[in-house]
Amino acid sequence: MTMMLASVRSLDEALIALEGGADLIDLKEPSRGALGALDHAAVRICVQAIGGRRPVSATIGDLPSMDPQSMTAAVERMAATGVDFIKIGFFFRPQAFDCATALSKLASRARLVAVLFADETYDLALVDELAGNGFTGAMLDTAHKTGKTLRDWRTENELEEFVIRGRNRRLLTGLAGSLRREDIPQFLAIGPDYLGFRGALCRNGDRGQSLDRDTFAKIRAAIPQGTAQYRRAAA
């Protein structure tokens, strides 16, 4: 069953996502980029307030240089906040495989999820490398929020290939990138472990605006509830 990931930028939004039935609450700051990081103090407050009622993920920020040392340090700092999952952007750089190897030593301390970008070049062989280095999951998102959706960048066959590759390597898989409610049935047919939303949950579909309860409820209603299963998968 596919679950719902809701990206939030504050405690108030995290509580809306919790009350609205999100399966995974994802902490990020959209004004700082595709994977803009919230301040660590804010992450800790959200983790404490959610209190284990839902799994919580957080991004470490956009690090396009893909420097293994900087990336490892950023993951270590975020792991100290107590989040359940840490999302790490993997840009198409020669160092990407080195970063996967460098982060392997942290995989026993934190559940690591690599985010690849559909609007840039990516290498599916990296999925194998991630699995071999102890990562928990792999996600396909968009790096540039230009109004185009994931479907504008990749065909259904390409998206399915990504999900199958991850599943065969026993990784949790996710799809995100300006997803719209009308696209949900097609994505559910592909069968990722979760679908990620930000803009579709906000006022006027603007990811920079606050979450809107009514809009949130419409997205939640379009995805079958799966919290209990997600907890088992994340354990």
pLDDT band for position 226 (50/70/90)? low
Is 28 tagged catalytic?
A: yes
201 touches 211 (CB < 8 A): yes
Average pLDDT rounded to a whole number, residues 178-200: 95
pLDDT score at 227: 45
5 touches 195 (CB < 8 A): yes
Q: Return the amino acid letter for 142.
A: T
Distance between CA 191 and CA 91 in Å, rounded?
Answer: 24
- How do residues 94-106 score in pLDDT, each as one tens digit? 999 999 999 999 9
pLDDT score at 234: 45
Distance between CA 111 and CA 129 in Å, rounded?
Answer: 16
pLDDT score at 37: 96
The total domain count for the chain is: 1
Average pLDDT rounded to a whole number, residues 26-30: 96
Tokens read off for 221: 């209603």
Is 87 tagged catalytic?
A: yes
- What percentage of the chain has pLDDT greater than the value 90? 87
- How do residues 150-184 score in pLDDT, each as one tens digit? 999 999 999 999 999 999 999 999 999 999 999 99
Q: Return the amino acid letter for 114.
A: A
Distance between CA 60 and CA 63 in Å, rounded?
Answer: 8
User: What is the dihedral angle through the alpha carbons of 122, 124, 129, 134, rounded to the nearest 10 degrees?
Assistant: 90
Domain that holds residue 52: 3-234
CATH classification of the domain holding 179: 3.20.20.380
Which one, of 136, 146, 143, lies nearest residue 194 by Cα?
136
pLDDT score at 206: 87
* Least confident stretch, 25-34, 87-96, 101-110, 222-231: 222-231
